[in-house]
Structure 1
Amino acid sequence: MTGTPAWLTDALAADVELGVVEVDGVAIHYRAWGKPGNENGIVFVHGGAAHSRWWDHVAPFFAGDRRVVALDLSGHGDSGRREEYLMARWADEVLAAAAHGGAGPNPLVIGHSMGGMVAITAARLRGTELAGAVAVDTPFWEDQPEEQAAGAQQAFGPLRRYPSREAALKRFKLIPEQDGNDPAIHAHIAETSLRAIDGDWNWKFDPNVFRGRGRPVPLELPRCRVAVFRAEHGLVPPDMGERIAERLGRVVPVVEIPLAAHHVMIDQPLSLITALRTLLADWTHSEPHRPEA
């Protein structure tokens, strides 16, 4: 890729392992970096209609002294499909991928958009098994942008088949769309979002993920450390960030990624990596503050 910065080329070329674990009868695929067995590994969770490879250029920056796993939730990427998609089951998939992929015990779960809801659900239901959870530009109390587009029949309808990879790539777009994306990252994500079927091409996600999966569990006092990242020009305005902190007992840092739009890892990846590294450094050397009774 002409003009691709060296840091991105190196990240995409990093050694990665592929794995599969079965959860409730469905094969869950994941990618893993770093040596297994280190305590407090990391699991990255993608957003709606996305997949594990949205993290290919981010995960290697955390694999120096940690095991890092990025999974395809059921209905996404290379993982199998279900009759019904529920946040609690996706949370189980996250913990199963962490354990099978060597990121346990007590992994940190980092989720973007809908994946942030999965991370917070995991913290709510299985927080004693986590080192913490981070939600990245997750608009709580509102429909996810993918749900809105599906409901308005603007996207995520029955999957179309395209006669060639090139024809499909011309139709790829982000939901919501945004300016300022790194073209190489955008191209990598688009290219890894396709699969070949009987000589045709279509997208890897199941459109049914946006139908009938139920709302996430309510925000309550966390059973593990929790942080909220919001993009300056994303879907979580400052007042929503304050509401989230209030609901979680005001022990939750709310961190703004400057200049970023919703898909932070595509337009401001280094700022996201720096913010996450800073948070991890703090959490490694500090004691969690508990809310007052």
Structure 2
Amino acid sequence: MSEDAPAWFTEALAAPVELGVVDVDGAPIHYRAWGKAGNDGGIVLVHGGAAHSRWWDHIAPFLARDRRVVALDLSGHGDSGRRDEYRMDCWADEVLAAAAHGGAGPDPLVIGHSMGGMVAITAARLRGTEMAGAVAIDTPFWEEQPEEQAAGAQQAFGPLRRYPSREDALRRFKLIPPQDGNVPAVYAHIAETSLYAHDDTWTWKFDPNVFRGRARPVPLELPQCRVAVFRAEHGLVPVDMGERIAERLGRVVPVIEIPLAAHHVMIDQPLSLITGLRTLLEDWTHSEPHKPRP
């Protein structure tokens, strides 16, 4: 870890964490868990495309002080198994299975970033009665995800390259879409945990096939549970898209802006994201949901 890492980040990474694996339809799904199991109001954190559970290492401990928090690797990502086909409904099943196995159930709140926000909303649409709510963070509904755009343009996420050394691989790490202002310690941690060793070489922890053949778009329907949308001020969800999402979901969805943030909010504005999520959790703990407008 960098010597100039901020104290809050160092403390977050030192927080006790448990590792677990649950089988979902033949694939081992790995997860990390913080906080005491059995506490009410469990949370599941879902990463974006080509990412993994450790994007949440510095966020989860701040949400786990009185809750169980689970961050999973979706199939095709991180340390979890691969599949012949990747579907949103299957990923939603993985999320709820990890919640139950990892002690974040029953009725977890599912929080997803980018593509993970689509997974969260899919879970709410299909199995919302089993959830306390769903939160999508800078998820550009009705548009291709940035990873899909890059893969389609053959700019990234093609066949995995193998690098002769860890250092060589880290020099190639980049965010899609690129952004400035990242917290250096957070950026370095995510890059370092995105690699694994294979036959004396290093490569990335994702299956390029996750970007091929997925059904789109994700339908937005009146929710069976609470839903909230976070948008980054300089991210992929413009103001008018946030308004369209709220309108489609019955005008009961808060649309919350993270100031100064780009798409990868947990890398450039992590403390603002933590503050926004904790504020939403506190409000939802003490308020009753509005009924959606027909």
Kept after mapping to 2: 8 A contact 1:87/1:215: no
Q: Which residue of 1 aligns with 2:156?
A: 155
Q: Does 1:168 align with 2:208?
A: no
Cα offset for 1:291?
A: 1.6
Whether the 8 Å contact between 2:114 and 2:136 is mirrored in structure 1 is yes
Superposition deviation, residue 241 in structure 1: 0.2
Does residue 53 (structure 1) correspond to residue 54 (structure 2)? The answer is yes
Report what 1:235 is aligned to: 236
In structure 2, the residue matched to 1:125 is: 126
SS at match of 2:233: strand
CA contact (8 A) 2:251 2:293 kept: no
Separation of aligned partners in 2, 1:15 and 1:292: 43
User: C-alpha separation between the residues in 2 aligned to 1:220 and 1:27?
Assistant: 31
Deviations 1:234-256 (A, max 9, x none): 00000000000000000000000
Asked whether the 8 Å contact 1:121–1:216 carries over to 2, the reply is no
How many Å separate the matches in 1 of 2:205 and 2:48?
Answer: 13
Which amino acid in 2 is paired with 1:218?
Answer: P
User: In the alignment, is the contact (CA less than 8 A) between 1:136 and 1:229 conserved in 2?
Assistant: yes
Which residue of 2 is the match for residue 22 of structure 1? 23
Q: Distance in 2 between matches of 1:215 and 1:78?
A: 26
Counterpart in the other structure of 2:97: 96
Secondary structure of residue in 2 paired with 1:135: strand
8 Å CA contact 1:91, 1:122 repeated in 2: yes
State the alpha-carbon separation in 1 of the partners of residues 232 and 137 from structure 2: 8
Q: 2:121, 2:203 → 1: CA distance?
A: 31
What CA RMSD, in Å, does the superposition of the two structures yield over aligned residues?
Answer: 0.6
Structure 2 CA distance for aligned equivalents of residues 13 and 241 of structure 1? 36
- 1:216 and 1:118 mapped to 2: Cα distance? 12
Asked if the contact 2:142/2:217 (under 8 Å) is kept, the reply is no
Unaligned runs of 5+ in 1: none
CA contact (8 A) 1:232 1:260 kept: yes
Over the matched positions of the two proteins, sequence identity in percent amounts to 85
Structure 2 gap ranges (5+) = none
Partners of 2:70 and 2:217 in 1: how far apart?
23
1:189-221 CA deviation, whole Å, 9 max, x = no partner?
A: 000000100110000000000001212531000
How far apart in 1 are the matches of 2:34 and 2:103?
A: 10
The 5 Å alignment of 1:263-282 reads 263-282=264-283
Contact 2:141 2:218 in 1 (8 A): no
CA contact (8 A) 1:87 1:216 kept: no
Query: In 1, distance between residues paired with 2:252 and 2:33?
Result: 31
Q: Which amino acid aligns with 1:33?
A: W
Tell me the TM-score normalised to structure 1 length: 0.99
What amino acid is the match of 1:122? A
Cα shift readout 1:128-177 (whole Å, capped 9, x = no counterpart): 00000000000000000000000000000000000000000000000000
Aligned to 2:143: 142
Partner of 2:114: 113
The CA deviation string for residues 89-119 of structure 1, in whole angstroms up to 9 with x for no partner, is 0000000000000000000000000000000
Aligned counterparts of 1:211 and 1:130: Cα–Cα separation in 2: 29
Post-superposition offset of 1:7: 0.4
Deviations 1:62-103 (A, max 9, x none): 111100000000000000000000000000000000000000
Whole-angstrom distance in 1 between the partners of 2:38 and 2:215: 34
CA distance in 1, matches of 2:210, 2:293: 38
Q: Write the distance in 1 (CA, Å) between the matches of 2:198 and 2:14.
A: 27
- Mapped contact 1:227–1:254 kept (Cα < 8 A): yes
Equivalents in 1 of 2:272, 2:21: separation in Å?
A: 31
Deviation at 1:42, TM superposition (A): 0.3
Query: What amino acid is the match of 1:223?
Result: Q
